[in-house]
Amino acid sequence: MSVIRRAPRGRPSIGFQLEVPAEVECLEGAVVTCRERGEDGRTVGELVARVFAAALIIDRDGILADKASEALAQETRAPAAPALEVMLPGATGFRAEAIQRAPLPYVHVFALAAPDSVDGGILVTIRSLRPDWPAAEQMLSSLRLLTRHGKLATSDEPGANDNATVLPVVVIKRP
């Protein structure tokens, strides 16, 4: 298990920290990319996290919901899906999800912010071979946002610190 910590720098003044399981390789650059490969060498799943700038003072929820929907639409090249509210132990925000025809068909996008964030948030995109990817579940459960003072944010929202499954399961809708 290793810990990735991206401290806040300049604007937006938000960062993040997450625990990465030993079987997952990480590449750090402008974005953090965590990827797990199966025994056959194929990618099982990929988590990409990056900081984004946004004025979250007015209509915080609207901006985060739009960011999740727009990022999913860009990822899948499909019309924007509605975003649903999500609470994690260190952040709140919105998630949007879809299934696409691709090597990693299950896509989940999270737009998250710490309770006192005013100028940015974290965008997490998960692509996986199956609807449930245990490594992504573990990384999302460990995700903590760092405030502009470098402190770990925690959510006091009811249910945010429960041990419930974080990664949503996408269900295929049949006509």
Beta bridge pairs of residue 5: 17
Q: What mean pLDDT is predicted for residues 109-126?
A: 86
Position 55 scores a pLDDT of 74
How far apart CA 72 and CA 154 sit, in angstroms, is 26
173 domain residue, yes or no: no
**pLDDT tens for residues 21-48?**
999 999 988 899 999 999 999 999 999 9
Q: Is the pLDDT assigned to residue 105 strictly greater than 60?
A: yes
42 domain residue, yes or no: yes
What's the burial of 172, exposed, middle or buried (CB within 10 Å: 0-12/13-18/19+)?
exposed
Please, are residues 153 and 89 in contact by the beta-carbon 8 Å criterion?
no
Position 149 scores a pLDDT of 64
Position 50 scores a pLDDT of 93
As for how many domains the chain has, the answer is 1
111 domain residue, yes or no: yes
Tell me the HSE value of 109 on the side-chain side, using a 13 A CA sphere.
25
122 domain residue, yes or no: yes
How far apart CA 24 and CA 46 sit, in angstroms, is 9
End-to-end CA distance of the chain: 43
128 domain residue, yes or no: yes
CATH number, domain at 67?
3.40.1000.10
**pLDDT tens for residues 86-101?**
988 778 899 999 999 9
How far apart CA 175 and CA 45 sit, in angstroms, is 28
Q: Is the pLDDT assigned to residue 173 strictly greater than 50?
A: no
Q: What mean pLDDT is predicted for residues 4-14?
A: 70
Percentage of residues in the chain with pLDDT exceeding 90?
46
Please, are residues 70 and 141 in contact by the beta-carbon 8 Å criterion?
no
Q: Is the pLDDT assigned to residue 15 strictly greater than 50?
A: yes
17 domain residue, yes or no: yes
Phi, psi angles (nearest 5°) of residue 161: -105, 10
Mean pLDDT score of the chain: 82
Q: Which residues form the domain of 77?
A: 2-146
152 domain residue, yes or no: no
Query: Running DSSP on this structure, what letter comes out for residue 152?
Result: B
68 domain residue, yes or no: yes
